[in-house]
Amino acid sequence: MKVCKFGGTSMATAESILKIKNILNSDKTRKLVVVSAPGKRFKTDNKITDLLYAAYKEKLTYGVPGAALEEVCDRFEILARDLNLDIDIRSYIEEIETGLIESNNSDYIASRGEYLSARIMSKVLNFTFIDAGDIIKFRYDGSFDSELTRDLVSELKDIKGGAIIPGFYGRMPDKTIKTFSRGGSDVTGAIIAAGVNATLYENWTDVNGFMACDPNIVTNPKWIEVLSYQELRELSYMGANVLHPDSIFPIYDIGIPIIIKNTFNPTALGTQILKNVDGFDRPVITGIAGKKSNTVITLTKSMMNSELGFGRKVLSVLERNGVSFEHIPTGIDAMSIVVSNQLSESLKQKIHDDIKGAVNPDTFDISTTLSLIAIVGHGMANRKGTAAKICTALYNADINIRMIDQGSSEMNVIVGVEDADYSKSINALYDAFFK
């Protein structure tokens, strides 16, 4: 049995949905299907999930949703009309509006795009609709209940015909809706694949697979044939937005293979993602990915190295303020903390004041112009000169390295450069390793 997940672009139009129908009909082992909310139909279009969040803001402002929810209704009515489906979208929207008014957070309304997508697809395919809330479970504290979920999902092994399951959400013990983070339909698909011990988890999107780096930055980058679970995590977390970085966790122990496929070019080979990539002829570097505009908190203090608990006190300030860190480059009298998200001005001031009270630094500075670039690959662990090649490539491109860090697994090297040098750095590194 194969589990398939189709992303937002695949669900955006009647034409793309009919392509999904052809894909599923071509292989009867594709029995369990997870769908996302419809994405953009064209560049200036809105994603359905963004409209649903906008509807939640309308409710907070005016007490009831308005234009945003009406646009959602229009989009799904157009899909139903173009697919010649006998489905009353308006009645679903009225039900959703009632649930939105009664809900205390945005999770319920944010999940309704996937819910309506699954209702549409179940009609198109004549598959059974299974509400994700009936099989994806969370505990009272909001954590994912893997054991209960696995028991419920395992019952799908013997389902007759096929089933359509909305991605992105589950249900709490009190029956309220709980969502994963954005992109969480990938996680739902992996949970379903693990629960039924699928032979393959197919993730269908709008690209032919992973590229060695962002094709919006490098012209025609090389296609990646195979990735390890770990390489997927590193590249996805650092900005390669093909697959959610957490999607391997449900299937890690079982070792179910994943393949990235293109709904709009189903004959393309795609990219395999495997637990073990031994035996494949692979390059030293698998891929390059990055994130711009990271925040760097830098402080100095004489004799910092001999002050017991200095680092703990600084990191405790971040913890109390709900801020997680990425990297901590240090010197004998200096410490920098790299944070991936942007901080509000009020939060910056709060962190400044708290750190000053905790460790009384000599100097304190916050910068928001650091780009982090990850160079990822299993091959670098046993290959001399990788770091030298990275530094040389950036030096030859007249780029200053503000930070460099090699992971303890020796599978990635991360460099920090100014935002202004981000695209130039990606191109220089790609040329050094792939040309």
Q: With 70 as the cut, is the pLDDT of residue 409 above it?
A: no
Comparing 181 with 354, the larger pLDDT belongs to: 354
Tell me what pLDDT residue 41 has: 96
Looking at the structure, do residues 296 and 244 belong to the same domain, yes or no? no
Q: With 70 as the cut, is the pLDDT of residue 408 above it?
A: no
Secondary element (H or E) of residue 274: strand 271-274
Residue 207, domain CATH: 3.40.1160.10
Reported as a pLDDT band with limits 50, 70 and 90, residue 57 is: very high
Q: With 90 as the cut, is the pLDDT of residue 283 above it?
A: no
Secondary element (H or E) of residue 373: strand 363-376
pTM above 0.85, yes or no: yes
Looking at the structure, do residues 248 and 379 belong to the same domain, yes or no? no
Q: How many domains does the chain have?
A: 2
Q: What percent of the chain has pLDDT over 90?
A: 80
Q: Pick from 248, 274, 300: which residue ends a domain?
A: 274
Q: With 70 as the cut, is the pLDDT of residue 174 above it?
A: yes
Tell me what pLDDT residue 340 has: 81
Quick check: is 430 in a domain?
Answer: yes
In whole angstroms, what separates CA 117 from the centre of its chain? Answer: 20
Looking at the structure, do residues 388 and 416 belong to the same domain, yes or no? yes
Instruction: Provide the token pair at 32.
Output: 């369990």
What ranges in 138-248 are assigned the alpha helix state H? 146-154, 185-195, 229-237
Amino acid identity of residue 227, one-letter, is L
From CA 78, how far away is CA 62, in angstroms rounded? 27
Q: What is the DSSP letter of 330?
A: B
Instruction: Provide the token pair at 375.
Output: 């160079």
Quick check: is 240 in a domain?
Answer: yes
Quick check: is 282 in a domain?
Answer: no
Looking at the structure, do residues 149 and 266 belong to the same domain, yes or no? yes
Quick check: is 279 in a domain?
Answer: no
State the chain's mean pLDDT as an integer: 93
Looking at the structure, do residues 69 and 170 belong to the same domain, yes or no? yes
Looking at the structure, do residues 149 and 198 belong to the same domain, yes or no? yes
Tell me what pLDDT residue 79 has: 98
Q: Which domain holds residue 386?
A: 287-434
Quick check: is 127 in a domain?
Answer: yes
Task: Decide: 45 and 24 in contact? Cβ < 8 Å.
Answer: no
Task: Decide: 6 and 36 in contact? Cβ < 8 Å.
Answer: yes
Sign of the torsion angle spanned by Cα atoms 310, 312, 318, 324: positive
Closest Cα partner for 359 from 389, 394, 315, 322? 315
Tell me what pLDDT residue 411 has: 85
Q: Which residues touch 37 (CB under 8 Å, ≥6 apart)? A: 8, 11, 47, 48, 49, 52, 113, 114, 116, 117, 168
Q: With 90 as the cut, is the pLDDT of residue 326 above it?
A: no
Quick check: is 181 in a domain?
Answer: yes
Q: Pick from 250, 274, 298: which residue ends a domain?
A: 274
Tell me what pLDDT residue 18 has: 98
Looking at the structure, do residues 162 and 246 belong to the same domain, yes or no? yes
From CA 118, how far away is CA 33, in angstroms rounded? 9
From CA 294, how far away is CA 371, in angstroms rounded? 6
Tell me what pLDDT residue 407 has: 67
Looking at the structure, do residues 177 and 251 belong to the same domain, yes or no? yes
Q: Pick from 253, 274, 295: which residue ends a domain?
A: 274
Q: With 90 as the cut, is the pLDDT of residue 261 above it?
A: yes
Looking at the structure, do residues 248 and 351 belong to the same domain, yes or no? no
CA dist list (Å): 397 to 367, 378, 404: 23, 26, 17
Q: With 80 as the cut, is the pLDDT of residue 241 above it?
A: no
Looking at the structure, do residues 355 and 248 belong to the same domain, yes or no? no
What ranges in 196-334 are assigned the alpha helix state H? 229-237, 310-320
Looking at the structure, do residues 268 and 295 belong to the same domain, yes or no? no
Residue 339, domain CATH: 3.30.2130.10
Looking at the structure, do residues 173 and 317 belong to the same domain, yes or no? no
Quick check: is 280 in a domain?
Answer: no
Q: Which residues touch 126 (CB under 8 Å, ≥6 apart)? A: 161
Comparing 108 with 410, the larger pLDDT belongs to: 108
